[in-house]
Structure 1
Amino acid sequence: MTIIEPQGAPILVTGANGYIGLWIVRTLLEKGYSVRAVVRSSHKGHHMKKIFGIYRHKLEIYDGAFDAAVKDVYGIIHSAATAILNPVEPDEYVRPAVDGTVGILESARKFGNTVRRIVLTSSVAAIGFNLVEPAITFDETNWNDAAEELVNAKGKDAPPLIKYAAAKNLAEKGKYILWNMYKEEVQWDLVTIQPSTPPLQAVRSPDALNVSMWMIWDPIANERSDNELRATCNYVHVRDTALAHVEALRKEEAGGERIIASS
């Protein structure tokens, strides 16, 4: 039975200092979980230690490799993602997204003997885009293969958001390929949260915004064409997204599901 309550071994969170990752860590701590927070460097963990000071006995900052990080944890929330604002080649998005997902699953398979569930952060970009036709409805059965096709056709000339969507789509497909290979030999299952688009990060200027927040700030602060302004977009509060990740650890029936988070 995959129900992970606060008592017991910690929850590993990758990308813990990111936009969504920080809120996931906060939500876990507030609900009584112990957290092993993976950051890219010890410097990245300083801000976390400061804002989560009252939980210091339940928070471990970790800047090592996944192979060691997955040991002795009950659950893994993989929210780490590499995103850049103006990628040139599609692989600048695709390779890190796929490699990161494959890496955490491989580490869990080899060294995660206590892991019961892995929750992966994806995006509605892996479901599909609805930029023109307002009547189209998407659900968890959809895949954004159109983004892959467009990137294959246009290469570096594809729009950045399409490259991002293709990366998310490919990373999720890779996850399921590996899961089908591993499921007979591991004791954990998978859940994917697909969120739509109040930071806990220290943001002192627009240049310090990460990609997720920049995509919200930019059309408000800068001029956009009428066609761009007519495009539809889905949103969800980051607190709800974080809560969805935590609840995915606690709900047995979430195993194997793709779950859209959108308001």
Structure 2
Amino acid sequence: MPAISTGNVLMTGTNGFVGSWALKVFLESGFTVRAPVRSEGKASYLKKIFGAYNDKLEFVVIPDITKEGAFDSATVGVDAVVHIASPVTLDANHPDEWIIPAVNGTLGVLRSAAKVHSVQRVVYISSTAAVIDPTATGPRVYDENDWNEHDVGTCQREGRAAPQVVKYRASKTLAERSAWEFWKENKEKGVIGWDLVSLCPPWVFGPVIHKREGGPNDMNDSTKFIYEAVVKGQYSPVDLAFIDVRDFAQAILLAVTKPAAGGERFIVAAAPFRWEDLIITAHELSGGKTYPPVGSYNPDAPYMGRTNVAKAKALLGLEYRTQEETIKDLLKEYEERGWL
């Protein structure tokens, strides 16, 4: 079960919400990180906030990560690969506009890693979007054996008519499937020596350290949604579970460094939630500055979606921040930004 405790890591998506925190954790743990960016200008902000790690942080320009061989030179000499980058905008017309970039981007990274003998571990960031059953009508507990086949079928049947969120979830399922199929086929042939790990997080909340401009509505989706819920009382009924972004970054580090993680799929989640839970917690912690709780809410109602995270606990040793800790730090950030 190859793994590394130090060395060189190729990490995609470092300009994003999750990737910037993962970059921070890896640099603080002594790793050297090679970060692909679409242009030199995309590296300027990260160079500024991580200036103390100049000798440990290298940027490489890859304008199109879906292009064949895009990562060939970037993977040379690295010991591990962490693939976080993924299309995240809900404005696709045909499902293929989601699916093809997600699958090709993933396979492109893996094919390049397969050409390099130094690579010991590849970590692919998936999502519980690739796990859940959207047709579930009652309480359900999900584990790593579950796959969202329903949305893939919906996209195949309905094409352009499929809802945007269905197109997104199908892309996550198919991209992760393609990663596992590639790894298993090439591992059996003896073509590759590295192990694959996939992490499936649910909603990811927490403070922001990546480049941000404008107000809360200009943030990444999960940050925008939680702000709109706790400050404005506007939210979707879609919930499931959450993880603090700082804990998720730690999970990515553990997925690289823990030998027992090799060849495993993990759901990483702190706890189930409903948006009303977050509204209540924020209102209490803010001293009444955020949106008031809905009087008809039943806190004792069963959670419709739960996640079994025993595997991540046993093999990664992952610990999680509580909802209260995450909300407290978010409220502090809102105050500092003048958003409350």
TM-score norm. by structure 1 comes to: 0.90
Q: Distance in 1 between matches of 2:162 and 2:233?
A: 22
Letter in 2 for 1:3: A
Q: Sort the Cα spacing of 1:40 and 1:213 in 2 relative to 1 into closer, same or farther, 3 A.
A: farther
Q: Distance in 2 between matches of 1:205 and 1:88?
A: 28
Report the counterpart of residue 252 of structure 1 in structure 2. 259
- 1:99 paired to 2:104: yes
Q: Distance in 2 between matches of 1:127 and 1:38?
A: 28
Report the counterpart of residue 202 of structure 1 in structure 2. 211
CA contact (8 A) 1:19 1:212 kept: no
Q: Sort the Cα spacing of 1:179 and 1:195 in 2 relative to 1 into closer, same or farther, 3 A.
A: same
Q: Sort the Cα spacing of 1:221 and 1:165 in 2 relative to 1 into closer, same or farther, 3 A.
A: farther
Greater CA drift, 164-173 or 213-222: 213-222
User: What SS class does the counterpart of residue 43 from structure 1 fall into?
Assistant: helix
Q: Distance in 2 between matches of 1:77 and 1:256?
A: 14
Letter in 1 for 2:55: H
Corresponding pairs, count: 257
Shift of 1:51: 0.8
Deviation track 1:98-125 (CA, whole Å, cap 9, x = no partner) reads 0111100111112x22000000000010
Quick one: which of 70, 77, 90 aligns to 1:72? 77
Q: Sort the Cα spacing of 1:210 and 1:224 in 2 relative to 1 into closer, same or farther, 3 A.
A: closer
Letter in 2 for 1:177: E
- Cα RMSD for the two superposed structures: 2.0
Shift of 1:63: 1.3
Shift of 1:157: 2.2
Identity %: 37
Letter in 2 for 1:122: S
CA contact (8 A) 1:85 1:211 kept: no
Deviation track 1:132-187 (CA, whole Å, cap 9, x = no partner) reads 63511110000000111122222222222211110000011111221122112111
Q: Which structure 2 segments of 5+ residues have no match?
A: 63-69, 271-340
Q: Distance in 1 between matches of 2:227 and 2:134?
A: 20
Letter in 1 for 2:131: I
Greater RCO, 1 or 2 (C-alpha within 8 Å, sep 6+):
1
Q: Distance in 2 between matches of 1:137 and 1:238?
A: 22
CA contact (8 A) 1:191 1:258 kept: yes
Report the counterpart of residue 246 of structure 2 in structure 1. 239
Letter in 1 for 2:160: K
Shift of 1:129: 4.1
Shift of 1:207: 5.2
Quick one: which of 68, 73, 84 aligns to 2:89? 84
Deviation track 1:170-206 (CA, whole Å, cap 9, x = no partner) reads 0111112211221121111100011111111232234
Letter in 2 for 1:14: T
User: What SS class does the counterpart of residue 143 from structure 2 fall into?
Assistant: coil
Q: Which structure 1 segments of 5+ residues have no match?
A: none
Q: Sort the Cα spacing of 1:187 and 1:132 in 2 relative to 1 into closer, same or farther, 3 A.
A: closer
Q: Distance in 1 between matches of 2:42 and 2:208?
A: 15
Larger gyration radius, structure 1 or structure 2? 2
Letter in 2 for 1:242: A
Letter in 2 for 1:74: D
Quick one: which of 191, 196, 206 aligns to 1:190? 196
Q: Sort the Cα spacing of 1:92 and 1:219 in 2 relative to 1 into closer, same or farther, 3 A.
A: farther
Q: Sort the Cα spacing of 1:216 and 1:154 in 2 relative to 1 into closer, same or farther, 3 A.
A: farther
- 1:152-171 correspondence runs (5 A): 152-171=156-175
Letter in 2 for 1:202: K
Structure 1 runs of 4+ aligned residues shifted over 6 Å read none
TM-score norm. by structure 2 comes to: 0.71
Report the counterpart of residue 53 of structure 2 in structure 1. 55
Letter in 2 for 1:253: A
Report the counterpart of residue 36 of structure 2 in structure 1. 38
Greater CA drift, 128-137 or 78-87: 128-137
Q: Distance in 2 between matches of 1:214 and 1:89?
A: 25
Q: Distance in 2 between matches of 1:94 and 1:31?
A: 34
Q: Distance in 2 between matches of 1:232 and 1:134?
A: 14
Report the counterpart of residue 114 of structure 1 in structure 2. 118
Q: Distance in 1 between matches of 2:161 and 2:226?
A: 23
Deviation track 1:77-96 (CA, whole Å, cap 9, x = no partner) reads 00011121322211121111
CA contact (8 A) 2:216 2:223 kept: no
User: What SS class does the counterpart of residue 129 from structure 2 fall into?
Assistant: helix
